[in-house]
Structures are given as structure tokens and as C-alpha cells.
Structure 1
Amino acid sequence: MIAELAFVIALVALVLVRLDTLMAYFQQEEYATRRFLAAIPRVRLYDLRATGVVAVALVLGLATGLWAVLLLLAAAALAGIAWDEARYKWKKPLVMTDRAWRIQALARLMSLPVLALALVHPLLAVVMLHLLPLQLIAANALLNPYQTRINRRYVAAARAKLERLDPVRIGITGSFGKTTVKHILAELLELSGPVFYSRGSINTELGLTRHIRQRLQPAHRYFVAEMGAYGIGSVRRLCDFVRPRYGIVTAVGAAHMERFGSLEAVAQAKSELVEAVCASGGLAVINAELLAHDPFAKLKAAHPDHVLTVGEGGDVAVAAELQGSDWQITLSGGGLDIAYALPLLGEHNILNSALAVALAARLDPSVIERLPLVTRVVEQVPHRLQKREAPGQPLVLDDAFNSNETGFANALRVLRQVADQRGGRAILVTPGIVELGLEHERVHARLGALAADCCDEIHAVNPGRIASFVQAAKAGGATVHGADTLGSARAALKGAAPEDVILYENDLPDILEERRLL
């Protein structure tokens, strides 16, 4: 009886730890059943070690009859597995939100009957461990109606607060550059009045809802909402929620092609912000390149006074040259004549800043005189080609939040330029880009070829996922090292010299980085 009790106690410990492990991955997949099911074989979220322990114990028990001893040994092994798994170093650890607590609690309750049956036969313990992912899915499904009611209540409260306080509402969307433009615009608009904007990359209805409920104040004159698109209609729903009178669309590109399937679909989704702004009688500031896509061209033709194009061939021309470490940028046309300096790295930030400056100047012309004072000291956006420097250490270019080909290519060119200035090596650490769909291999092949030209050393994280990148880089003569995780890549760089430059390009969550051995 003592052996059976020890076995069950160890099993309970393992179940509790395993549910936490699986819940972290489920949360990283945003509680999406299909994506989580797809991750189970990809990340190997099924049990191997405990299954092996129980199988060996059963075989030896049948052969020797020493059931008590073998159960005690199995209990010790299960406890060791639980201890080891609990010590896993997460890049993005589980956040126990109210929703996570509810799902976790229900999944634990669902485990109790099988735990009891494990007293009848140890083989049932193995069955239970393999059912744990399905229990989380089932718990989430059962709680979904309740969660939906909660979400609706929170959204309604946020919408009512937004209507009551009624700040000037601005939406920002695009395949990439949204967060950078949002931060630059917010800093510029502070010259005109207090600005409320979502921190980081919050760009969903529920994310904006939480920030509005918790942080929006009557003193805020402007509300800047980043708008993510997960399919056609996503931005329209966010516009129905925020009701923006002004907007910026940064770009249409291959980012998230896995969700949309084509650039035309991406363009249609992003144009929903312009459509909403034009309907409100406001102003949408867009990248002039977007006129190559029908939805934007039609909106510009139908609402010429409500769509301002910025960039080559647009209403507002942009000229820039690099002087020292700053860009000297001039905007002309469209009623604007502005010159300013920008300290941000990367050519892509020329247009990012131009879009923000153009809208800020239209929102409040009185800020134009002071814009050069602000843009010269605009803060680096965290994890967007951000410089990190420490005495005696290599310079780090942190581009961890980038997820598009254009930004990746610009970062590589900056890496080469800065490394040449410092007289050190250009070192790249990257797991590649996600959600490219059918473009995955082609995009990574192009980036691999460019990386070979720009880098002295490349560390590919989870290289099997970006095989075309690795092959193209090697074909270009680059020195390429593989690493299972970002942590192991960092460990390999401990000997980097102070004059070296290390670019961390993109940082994928655990669910995309490595396979587990559970």
C-alpha cells in the first residue's frame, strides 16, 4: 500500500507540473484549439519519459514479481521528472490570468477520476498523462460561453468609457512598423497634449479594452490605438470599437501571409482603417506605395481630401540623408514643409517617422516649430533595432520584435555598417520569421543570401525550421552555427570581443523555438 501511495503522490506532482507546462504553450497559442493541437507533435508535447518509466516498471514487475520495489522506484523517477520539468527556463512563462486560473482548475478537476483509477493499474497513469492536453482543450471549450460573456462586458465598459471621455482617436495598422510609428507619433503629440496609447504591441480588441479600462484618463487629449489584423474584417471590428477619426497605414507585406493567403487579402484587411476614417470625415495618412493595391487606390480616388500619401510619388515627398548617426529628413508637399533629425537606426524608420510627423502636423500645426526638438531625441522603441551597450561588452542591436522581411533586411544592413564603423565582427542571431505561409522558403532564402553578404558569423536558432535560410547563407560563404534555443546561442557568444556587434533578429516564443522531451 505504501508503494501504491508513493506512486500516486508522485503522479499527482507530475500532473500538476505537466498541466502548467501545457498551459503555458496553450496560452502562447492564445487558447486556439487548432494551433495547440498542431503544436503537440511539432513541439513534442506528449509524454515520453514517464511513459517509459511505467512501461519498464510493468515489464520488470511481470518478470520478477517485485511490484512494491518497482513502484517505489517508478515513484522516485516520476518525482524526478516533475522536478526537472518544473525547473524549465521559459522565455515567455505562463501568466496566471483569471482565464488561465479557470481553465487550469477545471482541467485539474477532470484529472481526479483518472488519478483514482491509477490506483487500480499503473498503466492508467500513462493514459492520463497523454490525455492532459485534451483536458485543457475541453476545459477551455466548456468555459468559453462564460469567458465570452465576461469579454463582452469588459468591451462594453471600455467602449462606454471611450465615448464618455472622447479623446481624439487615431488608429494605426500595417503589416509592419505599427508599433514604431505609434511610439513616434505619441512622443510628437505630447507637444500638443497628453497622449494615451497601448504599451508594447497590444493591438487586439481585448488588449485595448484592458488598457482603456485601467489607464485611460479624462486628461488624455489623444488616444492612439495600434490595430492588428488576423483576417479580413479584423481591423473593421477594431474601428467599430475605437471609431478613429484619424489613421496611419504603414505597409502591406508578406508578414502573416499564413493567415491571409495573398497580398491582396492583406491589402483589403489594412484598407479597412482608411475606409472607416474616410467615412468619419477624418484623415488617413498612408505609405504612397500602398496605391499599388486596388483597395487603397480606390479609396484615394474616392476621398482625395481625406487620404494623404507619404513617400515616393505621394502627396508628401520624403528626402533623407545620413549625417553622422542621425537621419536628416525633409518633408515637402501636401501643405507641409518640415525638416527634422532622427536618431533611430534603419532606413525603414525614415518613412515610419515621416508618417507620424505628417499626421502630427495635420492634427495640430502649432507643433511643427517644436518638432525638430523632439525628433532629435526621440526614444528608441524597445526591441526594434534598439542599441544596448555596456563597457567591455559587444554592442547589441536588439531587434527581437521584428517579424517581416523588410525590417530584417534593413537590420542586416545596419549591422554591417555599425560593425565596420567599430572595426569588429557582424554577428547575427535569429530563428527567422513566422507566419509566412507559402512564402516561408522563398523569403528565408532571400534573407539567407543577404545575411551571407552582411554577416561574419550567423547563429541560426532552431535551424531545421529555416532550412532555406541556412542553405542560402552557407552557399554565400557565411559561417553558420546551429542552436536549439536562444539561450544556447547566447552562451556560444560569451567570447565576443567588445568591438563586435551582435544583432538579435526576432525572438520566437517557446512554442516555436525547440522540441521538448516530456
Structure 2
Amino acid sequence: MGNEYLLPLSAAVGFVFFSAFLAFVWLRGQALVHYFEEQEFNTEAFFVWVIRKRAFDKRASWILIPSFVAWYATQRFLPDLINPQVLNPVFYGIIFIALVVGALSSYETTRAAGKYKDISARAKRIHFIFVALMGAYFATIFANQTGTEILFLTLAFLAFFQAPPLFIVAANFIIRPWENIREKRNLTQAKLKLSKLSPVIIAITGSHGKTMAKHLLTHILSANKPTLTTPDNVEGAQGICDTILQDLKNHHRYFVLEMEGHSLGIIKKLCQLAPPNLGIITSIALGQSKRLRTLERVFRANFELADDLMSRRERTILNTDAMPEDLLNTFTNKNPNVLFCGGEKSSFDLDIVLKKGVQGNHGLDLTLGLNQKGRQETLELQVPLYGLHNCYNIMLAVAAALELGQSTEVIQNALKTVPQIPHRLEVIQGVKGPTVIDDSYNTFPEGFQSALKVLSDLRKPKGRCILVTPGLVEMGTAHDAEHKKLGEMAGKHVDVALIIGPKRMSTFMSAFNSTKEKGAQLRTFDTQSDANDWIKQNADNNDIILFEASLPNLYDTRVKF
């Protein structure tokens, strides 16, 4: 069967076929590059994700395989039944359908992965090279047709549909030398600019609470002096470099930044880029550190900040209530230059004590005991934020502000006007419609528990407390135990629980049903949008709705190829 049987494709048909190819390649690459960036462009981690999530093409490939089997059976057993001049164009039509289906499935995954404009410039460069590589492969298919054309096309397109993860990695390999040069140049320029402008650098790390502590401290410091901070979710070297090069100005007195210790050695390198004058470690927990695996390694990774500060005789501020005591004792025995914060039951000799934390309709009321620099006094604070766990973040920010010379009066007045952070226990009380508590970005059990308490405290007369959640991600072996505790607590506070993805939430649902009040409901949904539709149809103005952890980590998002 030779090329003489090919149907000459008109320009219109060729354009449509090429459009299907381009849609498939563009959308499949866009979806994959999101996940590749989530793995910080690490090839090994990306392939682990591909295997774990079975991110291989299924839908387009399963259209092609039965079609080839049918074609082969017809040629083998009924060779005179269908004219090849008809059969071959039909097969091209099947390839077109497979491309369209593959593009649509890629679009579904792309929507789950996030907006294209939110990915980094490097990810976009990888995407464009990926499209070029896939285009070259596509052109090669039609430039090398053989006498066994249908067989060749089937094998070639099966490889085409399965190749995108490999081509993403290949695109990254192609641009890596240029990226390395660019990164080194940016690092050098950022270090020079920091050295020249010499702002006071405050670095914040920890398993959770970093963004809130940064937000609070920046607000306090900005009341007196211009203060620059890294944008939310910017915790790596290149993001910090970009902030320094683009936003740091002569008038900035303070520079507050987050550092993410997801691997050993990362924070050490960040401290070489931006040597901090003061550090805060908010917490040590295993939940969000899938690469570190053990609590001891999480501790070591985050305490690289304290090690750097100790080497330069600078101070580290710690929340003793959110850290393993045995590991903390080992560290503090060799580092006396530490400022301890915690609750009254802490076994450490505290510099700042959380004496009282009360949550009301308008936020938090705190009482702190100050034992700094030879003085003992009580500090009363009113802060328009919600969640008792935020009392600790407020305490850490106050400790840092005092260490930097801010007066108690400035701190009190600043905290009275601190704005809420979007998606972090943000209470939205509209004139019409139900009250919404948006805690979508929460990733740890204590935050979930605190949000349930807020939900109950803000309950309206004759209104219902509604919980919407897919549960917490990346809890590892603690998943069932933690979700059992959360389910038991939710049963005591929630009237309607809307569970997204019920398969991974069985322990939560069983625990909820065991403690729920009479008349409480539990409903399950496959997607967030399905749960949102239920709310639109059933919630009324007196209800209060908690969206908890409803933006799960990209690593755990369902992939549909």
C-alpha cells in the first residue's frame, strides 16, 4: 500500500489537521510544565511524579490502538471489502479525532494545574522549546512514510502521544546552560545590590506560618520605615533575586523574606545570597516536606537559618511550642543567641510568653508577657485576624519588631490595622449572601482545627455551619490518624460537610459520622465545582461556609490524559 493511495489534503483540511496537532501539543505541554515547575525542574522528581500519577496518554492512544487492530483485521481477512483509497483517509480522520481528544483531556488537566500566566519565565521558555521539538517530530512522521504506511503512522503517533514528558525534560536540558548563566548573573547582581544598599534583612522559615509571620512583621515595620517583602509563595533563590533586582530601592530600610527548606542545603545557599540580620523559625512539622521524609531532617533543613545566624552572632527567634523539644534542646545547647517564644506551659526559659489568646467576632485579643533585655512587662494586643494558631505568628512578629527597636506603642497601633491575607483564614462578610471563611491555602492540621473553631464561633442565629474540603494533602503515614481527629472535631461543629474526593477521605467521613449532631449532613462530590454548585443552590444568607484546604498541592492533583 503506497503513497499513491493517500488522499490529497486540501489547504483547509491540512489547516484543520495542523490546528488539532497544535492544540494537543500546546495544551499537553502547558499542563506538564506546571508539574515540572512544581518539582523545581528536577528531572528525577518529575519522572517519579509521572509514574506515581500515571501521567501517560491514555485517551488518544486508546482511540488509535483499536482502530489499527480493525484496519489490520480488514486487510488480513477481508482485503477486498474496503477500498484502500477510502480506508486510508478514514485512518487519518481517526488520528485527527485522537489529537482532539488528547487536546481536550490536556485542557482539563491544565485547568486543574493553574493559569499559564502564573508560571515562571523559565517554565514558559521550556514550553516553547517543547512545542518546537514536538513540531519537529510531527514533521518527521510525514517526511518518513513507508510502504506500510498505516502501521508506521500508528507506531509513530503512539510514540507521539506518549513522548511529551520526555520532550519536556529534553527542552529543559537544551536551555539549562543558558539558564545556569542567567541564574549566576542574577545571583551576582543581587548580592552586589544588597551589599550596596545594606537593608536590614529578616529571614523567616518553618514548616508552616511563614507567610503570616512575614505579613505581620512587614506591616509593623512599615509603620515606621519603608519595608520590602518578597511576594507570597516566593521562597527560592531566583524569586528572591528577582525581588531584589526589580523592587529593592535606596529608601528601603528593611527587607523581609521567606525561605523554604524543602531540601537539605537550600536555606544555607539562600543565606549566602541574602545574609540575614535576624531570623524567625515558625514551626517544625513533617506534613509538607515530602522530600525530607523524617522530622529530624526537616529540623536540620530549617535550622540551617539558625546555623548561619549563629556563625555571624546574630539572633534567631523560635516558637518553642511548635518544635520537637529533644531536637530543640540539642540545638540550643550550642547556640545561646536564641530568643524563645511560647505558651505558659513551655519548658524553656521564655523571652516572650503567650499568656492569653481569645478569639471574638472581630478578631484576636492577646496578652503577651515580655522578658526581653532585662525588662518585664505585659503587652495587650487587638488584631483583626482569625484563628487561635495565629496568636503564635503574632507573638513571633512582635518579638522580631522589638528586637529591631520598635516601640510597644507602634506595635500595638500597627496590629490594630493589619489586613487579612487572601485565602488564609480570610473572613468575608458580605451585605448579602452567606459569610465565607476562605482558608484555601491551609496545609496543616492545627490550622484546620483553628478554622473549625472560627466557623463555630461565627455561627449566625438560625444559620448553618458548612464545611467544604478535599482534606489535607501530603500527610504521608499520618494521613488517616490526622483526618480521623479532624473528622471528629468537624462532627461537633459542622452542620453540613461537603467532601471533595471521598476515596481519600474515608477516615474523616467515618469520624464525622461518629460525632455529628442529629440532623447534620455529609455529602460527597468529585470536584470543587460540583460542591460550589450545591452551595449556590442550597446556602442562604444566615449560613457560614468554610472553604478549607481547597487548593490542594499540585503534586496531588488528579491527572487526566
The answer, yes or no, to whether TM exceeds 0.5 is yes
Are positions 1:84 and 2:104 aligned together?
A: yes
Shift of 1:354: 1.2
Structure 2 CA distance, aligned partners of 1:489 and 1:35?
32
Are positions 1:359 and 2:438 aligned together?
A: no
Q: Residues 160 and 435 (structure 1 numbering): CA distance in 2 closer, same or farther, change over 3 Å? A: farther
**Residue matched to 1:115:** 138
Question: Alignment partner for residue 503 of structure 1, among 546, 554, 558?
Answer: 546
Are positions 1:486 and 2:528 aligned together?
A: yes
Structure 2 CA distance, aligned partners of 1:245 and 1:117?
57
Shift of 1:469: 2.5
**Residue matched to 2:495:** 456
Shift of 1:155: 1.6
Contact 2:31 2:113 in 1 (8 A): no
How do residues 38-49 of structure 1 correspond to structure 2 at under 5 angstroms? 38-49=48-59
SS in structure 2 opposite 1:258? coil
Unaligned segments of structure 2, at least 5 residues: 1-5, 75-81, 146-151
Question: Alignment partner for residue 445 of structure 2, among 405, 417, 420?
Answer: 405
Structure 2 CA distance, aligned partners of 1:425 and 1:209?
47
Are positions 1:17 and 2:40 aligned together?
A: no
SS in structure 1 opposite 2:458? helix
Structure 2 CA distance, aligned partners of 1:232 and 1:79?
43
**Residue matched to 2:309:** 277
Contact 2:401 2:411 in 1 (8 A): no
SS in structure 2 opposite 1:254? coil
Shift of 1:31: 2.4
Question: Alignment partner for residue 26 of structure 1, among 25, 32, 36?
Answer: 36
Question: Alignment partner for residue 480 of structure 2, among 441, 452, 473?
Answer: 441
How do residues 466-481 of structure 1 correspond to structure 2 at under 5 angstroms? 466-477=505-516, 479-481=521-523
Structure 2 CA distance, aligned partners of 1:512 and 1:291?
26
**Residue matched to 1:512:** 556
Structure 1 CA distance, aligned partners of 2:225 and 2:212?
20
SS in structure 1 opposite 2:291? helix
Structure 1 CA distance, aligned partners of 2:43 and 2:507?
29
**Residue matched to 1:426:** 465
| Alpha-carbon displacement from aligned partner over 1:405-454 (angstroms, at most 9, x marks no partner) | 111111112112212x4542221122222232322222222222222222
Select between 443-452 and 130-139 the one with higher mean Cα deviation.
443-452
Shift of 1:466: 3.6
Structure 1 CA distance, aligned partners of 2:239 and 2:488?
38
SS in structure 1 opposite 2:303? helix
Q: Residues 292 and 256 (structure 1 numbering): CA distance in 2 closer, same or farther, change over 3 Å? A: closer
Are positions 1:245 and 2:282 aligned together?
A: no
Shift of 1:279: 2.8
| Alpha-carbon displacement from aligned partner over 1:262-283 (angstroms, at most 9, x marks no partner) | 2222222222222322332332
Structure 2 CA distance, aligned partners of 1:319 and 1:57?
72
Q: Residues 387 and 166 (structure 1 numbering): CA distance in 2 closer, same or farther, change over 3 Å? A: same
Aligned residue identity for 1:148: N
Percent identity, aligned pairs only, is 27
Structure 2 CA distance, aligned partners of 1:34 and 1:432?
27
| Alpha-carbon displacement from aligned partner over 1:248-270 (angstroms, at most 9, x marks no partner) | 11112233242222222222222
How do residues 58-69 of structure 1 correspond to structure 2 at under 5 angstroms? 58-62=68-72, 63=74, 64=82, 65=84, 66-69=86-89
Select between 302-311 and 182-191 the one with higher mean Cα deviation.
302-311
**Residue matched to 1:288:** 320
Contact 1:264 1:293 in 2 (8 A): no
Are positions 1:263 and 2:295 aligned together?
A: yes
Are positions 1:159 and 2:230 aligned together?
A: no
**Residue matched to 2:213:** 181
Shift of 1:143: 2.9
Structure 2 CA distance, aligned partners of 1:150 and 1:2?
49
Aligned residue identity for 1:155: L
Structure 2 CA distance, aligned partners of 1:327 and 1:23?
41
Structure 2 CA distance, aligned partners of 1:50 and 1:302?
60
Aligned residue identity for 2:206: G
**Residue matched to 1:51:** 61
Q: Residues 269 and 195 (structure 1 numbering): CA distance in 2 closer, same or farther, change over 3 Å? A: same
Question: Alignment partner for residue 383 of structure 2, among 339, 342, 345?
Answer: 342
Contact 2:262 2:289 in 1 (8 A): no
Contact 2:361 2:458 in 1 (8 A): no
**Residue matched to 1:368:** 408
Structure 1 CA distance, aligned partners of 2:501 and 2:387?
26
Structure 2 CA distance, aligned partners of 1:163 and 1:27?
30
**Residue matched to 1:379:** 419
Structure 1 CA distance, aligned partners of 2:297 and 2:190?
30
**Residue matched to 2:204:** 172
Shift of 1:496: 0.9
Q: Residues 146 and 428 (structure 1 numbering): CA distance in 2 closer, same or farther, change over 3 Å? A: same
Shift of 1:240: 2.2
Shift of 1:60: 4.1
Aligned residue identity for 1:443: E
Aligned residue identity for 1:503: L
Structure 1 CA distance, aligned partners of 2:23 and 2:409?
64
* TM norm structure 2: 0.84
Q: Residues 220 and 47 (structure 1 numbering): CA distance in 2 closer, same or farther, change over 3 Å? A: same
Structure 1 CA distance, aligned partners of 2:544 and 2:129?
48
Shift of 1:220: 0.5
Shift of 1:92: 1.3
SS in structure 2 opposite 1:203? coil
Structure 2 CA distance, aligned partners of 1:397 and 1:86?
32
Unaligned segments of structure 1, at least 5 residues: none
**Residue matched to 1:71:** 91
Select between 2-11 and 256-265 the one with higher mean Cα deviation.
2-11
Aligned residue identity for 2:495: D
What is the count of residue pairs matched by the alignment?
A: 515
SS in structure 2 opposite 1:153? helix
SS in structure 2 opposite 1:259? coil
Select between 285-294 and 246-255 the one with higher mean Cα deviation.
285-294
**Residue matched to 2:286:** 254
Q: Residues 333 and 389 (structure 1 numbering): CA distance in 2 closer, same or farther, change over 3 Å? A: closer
Shift of 1:48: 2.5
| Alpha-carbon displacement from aligned partner over 1:31-79 (angstroms, at most 9, x marks no partner) | 2333332333554432223223323443444423432441353255246
Structure 2 CA distance, aligned partners of 1:194 and 1:11?
51
Shift of 1:12: 4.6
SS in structure 2 opposite 1:16? helix
**Residue matched to 1:212:** 244
Select between 15-24 and 173-182 the one with higher mean Cα deviation.
15-24
Structure 1 CA distance, aligned partners of 2:244 and 2:339?
28
Structure 2 CA distance, aligned partners of 1:212 and 1:260?
29
